[in-house]
Amino acid sequence: MIQRKTRHAVVLTVLALLVTSSWIAAFAISASDSSALEAFRSIRLAEDAGADVSSLIRDYNTLLEADSDASFAGLLDVAGAAREDASSRTVIRNTILVVSVIVVPMVLSLGVALLRRFHVTLEKERFLDREIQLK
Contacts of 97 (CB under 8 A, 6+ apart): none
Q: Which residues of 76-88 are buried (b: 16+ CB within 10 A; e: fewer)?
A: bebbeebbeebbe
* Mean pLDDT rounded to a whole number for the chain: 76
Give the model confidence (pLDDT) of 52-87 as tens digits. 777 777 877 777 777 665 677 777 777 888 888 887
The pLDDT, as a whole number, for residue 28 is 44
Could you tell me the pTM of the whole model? 0.44
| % residues pLDDT > 90 (the chain) | 18
Give the model confidence (pLDDT) of 9-38 as tens digits. 666 666 665 666 555 544 444 444 677 777
- Angle at which helices 54-66 and 31-49 pack, to 10 degrees? 170
